[in-house]
Homo-oligomer: A and B are copies of this chain.
Amino acid sequence: MGKLKQGFVHVYTGNGKGKSTSAVGQAARAAGHGLKIYILQLMKDFPYGEIKALEHLKENIEVEQVCKDDWVFKKQLPPEEEKAKALKALNTTKDKMLSGKYDIIILDEAIVSIYFKLIDENVVIELIKSKPSEVELIITGRYCPQSIIDLADLVSEMKEIKHYYNKGVLARKGIES
């Protein structure tokens, strides 16, 4: 920690491919520079490939994965116990962000988690507002509310122009997961 003089808030949003992958790439790059990174990943089984790839960098990259997204497919609201788990994980992440031990904090899929009501927009806003100046905060997920765009220093929207999912192709190991 302490490697960055100035940290920013990044948002990767939009419906296109590249949001989480970009965050993982940022983490891998920063680890190569000896920065310390904490990743909280919501609503996703952590892909085996990513764990394996980041394992070599485990001295620098710490990963926590919380809550699945099966209720989305059932068109249900998130169960209360899942919401409680997500809130606890966000609070832990905030503590880590304030601990002075990490250069980069990544909230992967936090934005879509707001959209699906797993986490509260205001909790994320408070977390952004309490960011120490030397920490970089990267937040990903589609459906970004304007309130978070307003607080971000960098916003990149990944727009899907074409996707082979639309041709009926299923996720492939090593590429999508």
| Chain A residues with a Cβ under 8 A of chain B | 3-6, 8, 10, 12, 14, 16-26, 28-35, 47-57, 103, 136, 149, 152-164, 167, 169, 172-175
B53 touches A4 (CB 8 A): no
Return the contact of A152 from the options B30, B50, B162 (Cβ within 8 A): B162
Smallest Cβ distance from A4 to chain B, in angstroms? 7
**Taking CB as reference atom, which chain B residue is nearest A16?**
B156
Chain B residues within an 8 Å CB radius of A48:
32-33
How many copies of this kind of chain does the complex include? 2
A149 to B162, CA, bound (A): 8
- For residue A128, give the distance in angstroms from its CB to the closest CB of chain B: 14
Minimum C-beta distance from A144 to chain B (A):
9
Once A6-B169, A6-B172, A162-B149 are accepted as A-B contacts, the answer to whether A24 and B29 lie under 8 Å apart by CB is: yes
Residues from chain B with Cβ under 8 Å of A167 in the complex:
153
From the candidates B4, B6, B158, B175, name the one contacting A158 in the complex (CB within 8 A): B158
Query: Which residue of the partner chain B has the closest CB to A140?
Result: B18
Closest chain B CB from A9 CB (angstroms): 9
Q: Which of A25, A26, A157, A163 is the most central at the interface, judged by chain B CB atoms within 10 Å of its CB?
A: A25
Establish whether residues B174 and A33, one from each chain, have CB atoms under 8 Å apart when the complex forms: yes
